[in-house]
Amino acid sequence: MRGESPIFLALAILASAPLCVTSVGCRSSASPDPEPASSVDVAPIEPSPDASSVALEAPSAAARPVKPAPPPESDTLPATLAEQREALYRRMASELELSEASIAEVRSIMEPSPMMGQGNPTITRHPMTRSKCREIRAAAGLAPPAAPRAPCGSKNMVPLFDPGAGETAADAKVCIDEFEFPDIPCDYPVVYARSSQAALLCKAVGKRICDAHEWEGACAGAVHKPEVEYAFGKPRPYATWLHNKTREVRWSYGAKKDHAQCATGSRKSPECTAGGWTLCGSNTYPAGAFPACVSPLGAYDLNGNAAEHMNLALAPEELASRGGTGATEMKGSWFIFAGEEAHEDDCRWRAKDWHPSTVMDPESHRNYHLGFRCCQDVAEAP
């Protein structure tokens, strides 16, 4: 509501609680004007810092309007990337119970990047607030567990196994993040990370980057042995063709494609024709905001929201589960797919050669719609 006089703002506050109605979500008053209305989300907008203290005719103390309480930090969208990151570090420390050393390591990886975070605050327009996401999940009975799920060692992770081979969660050798990094329900995904930075961030929080077949199995509901899922020793284009030719075609939510089940109804920024920090907002949803967009093994947003970096092994020693890294691989779809499909997005699909580099290349690809999630090997009992 930039441009209005202080008197107009004060009258608005006295009359009623103002609403922010936008096609792509609500922002703080320090942010640019919202876009035209739609039915995606309606949420209270943060009032201008000075609006509630403007006097009309020096009213008495009894008649003086009470300054509204500020919204919780989780619904306040910072005006700068630095503020956005600081708020993210606080939530990670609190909700994931990370140590000061882990947060310091996360900070050391993120701070040198001019872009990494939850999107350019100047132009990003999230379609849904965090509090709306929490309402949706609460109504669906999706309260997060107080402790890690067995046999996983960290909160907000689910075990990976192969039911078709007679395995149960107790047999899992690896767990995967339930949500996109930072792996906090109803938080926005971290984007603009290079694959090398994604691998380092996973390590900073006691995890590792996932292998492609682990992500695929988490999505499809069955994690197969690496020897089944890779044509080791073959050139990548041929190995990928062999894999795609015989792959099971299904999505995290079922056997029939239905983008509406997932966080795919957002849109690009008006000036975003290719990519770029200044033109393309990371218009993502809060993680886990679509209860039906969950895989049989319990991971959310494997379709929709942010696409995700993974490790593609071209040889057995390049498997992250065996301590190595291989080539970059992008998995899943992203937040515009209900209106614009950029590529195949079924669980086990692999790109022939996507922004080719090694995972640990310091110049590996990054983008406004590209995030990641982590895996964690299950510790064996002594």
pLDDT, tens only, 50-67: 333 323 333 333 444 444
Q: Which two tokens stand for residue 48?
A: 């201008």
Distance between CA 297 and CA 292 in Å, rounded?
Answer: 13
**99-126 mean pLDDT:** 98
Say what the pLDDT of residue 76 is. Answer: 83
**195-223 mean pLDDT:** 98
Distance between CA 197 and CA 102 in Å, rounded?
Answer: 15
Contact 311, 211 (CB under 8 A): yes
Phi-psi region of 117 (alpha: psi -120 to 50; beta: other; left: phi over 0): left
State the pLDDT confidence band at 71, using cuts at 50, 70 and 90.
low
Say yes or no to pLDDT of 190 above 80. Answer: yes
What amino acid occupies position 223?
Answer: V
- Percent helix, percent strand, percent coil in the chain, to nearest 5: 25, 10, 60
What amino acid occupies position 77?
Answer: L
* Alpha helical stretches, state H, the chain: 6-15, 81-95, 100-110, 130-139, 195-204, 212-220, 226-229, 236-246
Say yes or no to pLDDT of 337 above 50. Answer: yes
**328-335 mean pLDDT:** 96
Q: Residues 11-52: pLDDT tens digits?
A: 333 333 333 333 334 433 333 333 333 333 333 323 333 333
Say yes or no to pLDDT of 104 above 60. Answer: yes
**142-154 mean pLDDT:** 92
What global pTM score does this model have? 0.81
**DSSP letters of 6-48?**
HHHHHHHHHH---EEEESS----TTSPPPPPP-SSEEEEPPPP
- The residues, ordered by sequence, that sit 6+ positions from 213 with a Cβ below 8 Å of its Cβ are 223, 224, 226, 229, 230
Strands 307-312 and 370-372, by their bridges, are parallel
Contact 179, 142 (CB under 8 A): no
Say what the pLDDT of residue 72 is. Answer: 63
Which sequence spans correspond to the domains of the chain? 1-71, 87-377
CA angle 121, 308, 361 (to 5 degrees): 95
Say what the pLDDT of residue 323 is. Answer: 97
HSE-CB of 5 using CA atoms within 13 angstroms = 5
Average pLDDT, the chain: 84
What amino acid occupies position 49?
Answer: P
Say what the pLDDT of residue 378 is. Answer: 97
Burial 170-181 (b: 16+ CB within 10 A, else e): eebebbbbbbbb
Say what the pLDDT of residue 6 is. Answer: 39
Say yes or no to pLDDT of 75 above 90. Answer: no
- How many residues are given for the chain? 382
Say yes or no to pLDDT of 333 above 70. Answer: yes
Contact 13, 52 (CB under 8 A): yes
